[in-house]
Chain A
Amino acid sequence: MESRNFKRVYVWELPVRIFHWINALCILVLAITGFIIADPVAILSNAEASESYWFGTVRFIHFATAYVFFFNMLLRIYWAFAGNKYASWKAFLPFSKKRWNNILHVLRIDILLQNEKVHDIRNISVGHNMVASLSYIALFVLALVQVFTGFALYADNSDWFLPDLFAWVVPLLGGDFAVRKVHHIATWFFIFFTIVHVYLVFYHDWLEGRGEVSSMFGGYKFIREDRLKKTPGNTKEKSEQPSESKPEDNPKEDEIIV
């Protein structure tokens, strides 16, 4: 049986990777400290209250990390306009027939685990597949919910204008009770997202064998050689702008999924 040739393709630029890992770390820290704040352990101590400050420290970590999370998110939004086509905001919107077909393909092949009769390599996305893209839009909305409710709860502790920008959320939802409830429940959705996200990364790595896991470290994925244009430029191992397999099949140059 003939083995296939793969080419290294640069997909995730450094800012995207940095965003990803800071974001992941922030979510981890925020979720842990958040649950501690919601339900701290009751310890009995001989020390006076003035001698200890652990709960204050936990809250400080939560608030400080929230700022990191927020500014990191702003950088990612900037990069959605400055980055390559896999990082672009356009990559996340399913507004073409091809992308709708990709959603159906992913649902059929990867979620319902059907097998293709004819294996078309162009069905495998280079960047995010469209279902994954939609899940990141959902995550982005979720992050906005946390930013709005979190800063709204925090606004009264702060003199800075930034948290105050979100103070209107409290009257909108009727009070701190409701805001806190939303903030707490939304945390669970981050956990659900993470579980599914990590599983699907392993799933794709295992079934497609093209470096899904390591791509978020090095930025490279491995794409079948027959998908690259047969031009002399492509004999180089590294290609900043991997193009689609056959130009005649892909008239739209900015189309990503195939």
Chain B
Amino acid sequence: MATKTDTRETYYESIIKQGYSRRDFMKFATYIAAYMGVETSMIGQVVKSLETTYRVPVIWEHFQECTCCSESFIRSDHPIVSDIILNKISLDYTLTLMAASGHQAEAAKHETMEKYHGDYILCVEGSVPMANDGYCCIAGRSARELLLESAKGAKAIIAWGSCASNGCVQAAYPNPTEATPIHKIIKDKPIIRVPGCPPIGEVMAGIIVHMITFDRLPELDGLGRPKAFYAKRVHDSCYRRPYYDAGLFAESFDDENAKEGYCLYKVGCRGPMTYNACGTIRWNNGVSFPIQSGHGCIGCSEEDFWDNGPFYERLTSLGGFGIESSADTIGKVAAGVLAGGIAAHAIAANVSKRKELKDRNSRGRDNEKQLDD
């Protein structure tokens, strides 16, 4: 990552300078290693990397988004997470949190892009409008232009949140701005997709620490998501899972079953279709997550989750057949029409082929009379 000639401080140096003790640092290393899903024997490697690695320059771009990813990030559980990652990863450019502004800020960004060409990490929050460049402009330049420019020298790109990795709400039908996720625009760089609206802060920290520690991308699944956090469905780690297997479901949010804490499958919980770590890491310092708070998962880290509504029904409605028609309604109607058609066909067959049938039936009756009993 950083070169030896670099005069910048290592992560460890900056953490100590920040006023944390070595003990705090060790706790952080242990904790983040656990989240990353590495073995305890690897904690030493995490510590060593943070002690010896120079801080990686990061450029953090904001396009069409709501900044909930940044919000999630700075609220992540361990104080060092926000300190190290946000203040100390050498975040050279981020609109929301940087002190510099205007020309100064742009100058800092360009300096980083030139000085660390091929070394810096580009974090992107938000989708890029492809319909018209004018939909999202920063410092007078369009999102697309900015992305292409900053992606050119990036070592890797992290697509934070559902906007950058799936398009999220802006890309919901009819997607007037043609909001486009990063991986559909940049094809020649390694891209980590970290979907979620927002992603969990600890997940975000874990990914960055992984890249620092091992100097490579975390292991990714078929959709480019880090396996450590997105290999399991919310359903698989849900504490209400036993109710699912036992077939105990709430049917509405105010029924007795819901009070009993039964599974929210029938009120539209998307846990069985959603890959995320909510059930294990949880939110707000591990306090809770949507299902624990009595609301089904809406599948915010899945592609097109916004168009796969309604959120409170199991069956998604089908486009082109009216708003509320689910596959089953259409299926029942179609089966009824089919049955009616068949009944009509059966009657018509007997009418149209009556002569043939009459011949055959009379032959059969004749034969019956000739039987030799």
Report which A residues bind B (CB closer than 8 A): 1, 3-4, 38-45, 47, 49-56, 58, 113-115, 156, 167-168, 170-171, 174-178, 180-181, 184-185, 188, 191-192, 195-196, 199, 203, 207, 209
Complex interface: chain B residues within 8 A of A53 (CB): 245-247
- CB neighbours (8 Å) of A58 from chain B are 247
Q: Which of the segments B80-88, B132-140, B352-360 contacts the partner chain?
A: B352-360
Known contacts A52-B246, A115-B352; 11 additional CB pairs below 8 A are A40-B266, A42-B251, A44-B256, A49-B245, A115-B353, A115-B355, A171-B223, A174-B303, A175-B304, A178-B303, A195-B339
Which chain A residues lie closer than 8 Å to B338 at the CB level?
192, 195-196
Chain A contacts of B223 at CB under 8 A?
A: 170-171, 175
Contact with A along B330-371 (1 / 0, CB 8 A): 110011001100100110110011011101101100110000
CA A56 – CA B246 in complex, angstroms?
6
Is B315 an interface residue, CB under 8 A from the partner? yes
Contact of B327 (CB < 8 Å), options: A156, A175, A184? A184
Whether A195 contacts B342 by the Cβ 8 Å rule is yes
Q: What residues of A have a CB within 8 angstroms of the CB of B161 in the complex? A: none
Please give the distance in Å from A98's CB to the nearest CB on chain B.
Answer: 24
Residue contact A199 to B249, C-beta cutoff 8 Å: no
Q: Is the interface of A mostly helix, strand, loop or mixed?
A: helix
What is B's interface to A at a CB cutoff of 8 Å?
A: 221-223, 231-233, 236, 242-251, 255-257, 260, 262, 265-266, 270, 272-275, 299, 302-305, 308, 314-316, 327-328, 330-331, 334-335, 338-339, 342, 345-346, 348-349, 352-353, 355-357, 359-360, 362-363, 366-367
Q: A39-B314, A184-B327 are in contact. Are A113 and B266 (CB under 8 A)?
A: no
26 contacts between A and B (CB under 8 A): A38-B315, A39-B266, A41-B249, A42-B255, A42-B266, A43-B247, A49-B242, A50-B242, A53-B247, A56-B245, A58-B247, A113-B353, A115-B352, A115-B353, A171-B221, A175-B223, A176-B302, A177-B302, A177-B304, A177-B308, A181-B327, A184-B327, A188-B330, A188-B335, A195-B335, A195-B338
Q: Which residues of A contact B222 (CB under 8 A)?
A: 167-168, 170-171
Q: Which among B223, B245, B330 has the highest number of chain A CB atoms within 10 Å?
A: B245
Chain B residues with Cβ under 8 A from A195's Cβ? 335, 338-339, 342
Which of B265, B272, B346, B356 contacts A40 (CB under 8 A)? B265
A207 to chain B: closest residue by CB: B353
Residue in contact with B250 in the complex, picked from A42, A51, A156, A191, CB distance below 8 Å: A42
A149 to B31, CA, bound (A): 38
Cα-based distance from A41 to B246 in the complex (angstroms): 12
Q: CA–CA, A254 to B262, complex, Å?
A: 61
> Are B315's CB and A199's CB within 8 A?
no
Number of A-B contacts (CB under 8 A): 143
A177 with B299: CB separation less than 8 A: yes
User: With A156-B232, A195-B335 as given contacts, are A113 and B248 in contact (CB-CB < 8 Å)?
Assistant: no
The minimal Cβ–Cβ distance linking B33 to chain A, given in whole angstroms, is: 25
In the bound assembly, the distance between CA atoms of A219 and B366 in angstroms comes to: 28
Q: Which residue of B lies closest to A176 (CB)?
A: B273
Expressed in whole angstroms, the minimum distance between the Cβ of B236 and any Cβ of chain A is 8
C-alpha spacing A209/B247, complex, angstroms? 48
With A180-B273, A185-B327, A191-B331 given, is the CB distance from A196 to B342 under 8 Å?
yes
CA distance A196 to B339 in the complex (A): 8
Distance of B92 from chain A, by nearest CB (Å): 33
A235 to B60, CA, bound (A): 88
Residues of B within 8 A of A177 (CB): 270, 273, 299, 302-305, 308, 316
Q: Complex Cα distance A194/B40, Å? A: 56
The answer to whether B366 and A207 have CB atoms under 8 Å apart is no
CA distance A44 to B266 in the complex (A): 13
Q: Is the CB of A175 within 8 A of B248?
A: no
- A179 closest partner in B (C-beta): B273
Complex contacts, A52 vs chain B, CB 8 Å? 246-248
A50 touches B246 (CB 8 A): yes
Please indicate the chain A residues that have their CB under 8 angstroms from the CB of B272 in the complex.
Answer: 176
The answer to whether A184 and B315 touch (CB under 8 A), given A43-B247, A156-B232, A171-B222, is yes
